Structure 1
């Protein structure tokens, strides 16, 4: 192996280790995967879900617990969709899988006027089908490929357009109350996932339905975050740290903190208001990104 090949392999190993540790930490911190779980990995054919499946399969080999994985792809019958690619890939890696064929494309195109965004209806249809399939497969957890940048985009979208301080949680019960949805890539950066997918040469399948909508609000916010990441290194890390370090007493939601009934009782407190102190801020590059993570104590092997 010549020097360029050694360097490429070294970089791949370093990148893979960073992603594995990110996924392992997220699983550990939020208790995403438990003994005997059957994990349904939703595989779209994009870089994120390919990476999620690949990392979970690798972690499965060294995890201190036993769990099974089944990959599920929803073929939405988009024109020109290369339906042979995913089955061939999944067969080649030897993972259990199921391809679900449902013509949601025709439904979306029939209902949504030309030029309007299709994401809302498309996601509702897709969600209902995947919930049904999870029950049929006996899956105990549904794993989605959303990463750190997706979570930050959702936070800003809710702030800018929804009037809510709300993101995309790493773990949550589904809206029908029957499933636990997990996002093991929650701590992983999109640029790392993108590079990993390129090196691994996953057979990426673009979503033509969404790709024809260049002015989506999420895309605009995503472009803004990428610009910040280039111009202000560490800003995205600081933002994500903030999501893991919420102080309800210093926001303004009376449903989350009992502002109405607070009284001065003479007892000093960490969350008290320092009304006359000038606020100080750290250098983003020096902030420990995950310093405020909860610790679940599952990580026996250094990965999960």
Structure 2
């Protein structure tokens, strides 16, 4: 085999235009997202099936050997082997070292701007003039029609590095420059674990477009890399949570995402074809997980074809897919090739050939829903069926004239608030599974297949619900194992015992010596991992002693969005997490718990007492006792949702904003100070930011 000819990006720039032909061997989708100017797209799969038609095409491209062929892939890996194969067929061929990514790095470096590249000022001018109708006016129309931006807002413009979010950032800059009322923006980039090349690409584009980005880091890519079920969905959800958290830290009240018109209509079809429901991606949503925060989508009316046209006209090259699943792919990951969204894109393209108005009609369909012509719909958590008032409409009778029995069988179906993410794909806004009762059926089926289970039972919302369903399904083959430890309040153990006695469930108490776990008292950031692993090993031992096959625990889908090192222990020991397996969220679990009439349905979330300590502060039995007494006092005073954080001998009290006035009443305040000092605290403080879960995680480096 002859030596493969390799060509660097720098060497390519010195070649005379017209002396060579560029061939991009990536898939059509990647090519459409960005390519080297003048390149021809012939995919790697087409080369694998080399036929007479392709041979003729290659001859034409090379002009019977008069022109050199330069092929490139994503990272310069697949092109090496392919260049060798083409070379053996008699063509003069070179492979581009580093591929499209190397070319991208060179051509987006602000220190290597070519004479063909437009200045930032020219790019901004194009938005106001050349693309005024299709981009700028659509952007401002969405803001007006859906009331997305108000005076005094501070908006976190979330930038992924792709074409959509980068354009959105420029549009917000223009809006702020020309708007009649004042608002503020912060341009936020989260690095979930990008490769150095992709990180540099984002930074270079931000510099070229004069976007002052704030970059913060997370380990999301690493966290979801080994997840087999719906990693993209989990990644998107976790990214959303991190963005909300950082935005709130920066004083923002809104986050802006770059979903566009095509995303909206694709979501409508995906909901119908794969989610069995009619719904869409909303232009704005209130968040219930982050109080006072709102999500807006100002690109809602802008078509993707116009975004691409703006990008290409200005010779801009942005980040495509940068996740760990695809960065080592040859042409494109199978995941992306077979994704439901890509299937929908292809379907819309086919429909467009027959009816050029199809996209607009899909969009308008969710603006013109006629409730009189649908079998059923949901509103405010209640499912309405057309038979509910069918006879009323026909006879003119009033509901009270009918037999009440006709209505009592139709129960409310809990509706998920889209801002919680429950039941929704964070990237698309569509239902990724069935309704909550279908998830419950799947949970029962899953538990039935396990045969016998020991539930790690803490008496919290999740483990109580899981234990109840497991016992209903498996009977005596479902038992509870509760850890007795100094890091858990005594009342939690009492509540656990009372529940098991009332339900007739066998319960075993595991005496855990948590403070003797190596490294735990030093309170490292993986404290939860050390503790949970020992607890679960103890529960496993009890389960095996009693012939129980599996240990299960109650983590849910919301637990994936925060820093929870204890989840690693669950994974390492092979503990089952049924609620996560069937994709149940906290609010769904609360709704179902209410239907089951469980006392925990509205119980506030309550983490172990060790979570009240700042990382690195030594955990002692005495300090744990101080925290437990302080929180019990607050609960006795009616503050059910609260935390007492400990910083040395300083107590930092967190309660919701709604309780601020009550806790500052003279009698309450005086008693709290007096009692907490009796418990051992030297200082008693009140956190003006209010109650929030995981506030000690705010001290971790970002």
8 Å CA contact 2:170, 2:211 repeated in 1: no
Structure label with greater radius of gyration: 2
Q: For the Cα contact (< 8 Å) 1:47–1:204, is it kept in 2?
A: yes
1:164 aligns with: 277
Distance 1:109 1:97 in 2: 27
* Match of residue 263 from structure 1: 393
Offset, 1:12 = 8.6
* CA offset digits 1:168-202 (Å, max 9, x no partner): 01111125253211111111111111111222333
1:138 aligns to 2:251 (yes or no): yes
Q: Distance in 2 between matches of 1:233 and 1:55?
A: 28
Q: Name the counterpart of 1:46.
A: 162
Distance 1:258 1:117, change over 3 A: closer
Separation in structure 2 between the aligned mates of residue 232 and residue 14 of structure 1, nearest angstrom: 27
1:195 aligned to which of 297, 301, 309: 309
The whole-number CA distance in structure 2 between the counterparts of 1:57 and 1:139 is 16
Q: What is the 5 A alignment of 1:64-213?
A: 64-112=180-228, 117-178=230-291, 179-209=293-323, 211=326, 212=333, 213=335
The change in CA–CA distance for 1:80 and 1:220 in structure 2 (over 3 A counts) is farther
Q: Is the 8 A contact 2:128 2:136 kept in 1?
A: no
Deviations 1:241-276 (A, max 9, x none): 22222222222225346742342588xxxxxxxxxx
Q: Structure 1 residues 200, 175: CA separation in 2 closer, same or farther (over 3 Å shift)?
A: farther
Give SS of 1:36's match: coil
1:242 to 354, 365, 380: 365
CA distance in 2, matches of 1:56, 1:226: 30
Cα distance, 1:197–1:92 mapped onto 2, change above 3 Å: closer
Contact 1:50 1:202 in 2 (8 A): no
C-alpha RMSD over aligned residues: 2.5
Q: How many residue pairs were aligned? A: 255
- Tell me if the contact between 2:279 and 2:366 (Cα under 8 Å) persists in the aligned partners: no
Q: 2-side partners of 1:118 and 1:222: how far apart? A: 21
- Where does the alignment leave 5 or more consecutive residues of structure 2 unmatched? 1-124, 327-332, 397-702
- Which structure has more RCO (C-alpha within 8 Å, separation ≥ 6)? 1
In structure 2, relative to structure 1, the CA distance for the partners of 1:185 and 1:67 (3 Å cut) is same
How far 1:93 moved relative to its partner? Answer: 4.3
**Aligned equivalents of 2:181, 2:395: Cα separation in 1:** 48
The superposition leaves residues 126-174 of structure 1 with CA deviations (integer Å, 9 ceiling, x where unpaired) of 1111111111111111110001110111111111111111110111112
Unaligned runs of 5+ in 1: 1-8, 267-304
Contact (CA 8 Å) 1:20, 1:59: kept in 2 or not? no
Q: Distance in 1 between matches of 2:377 and 2:299?
A: 32
Q: Matched residue of 1:14: which SS?
A: coil
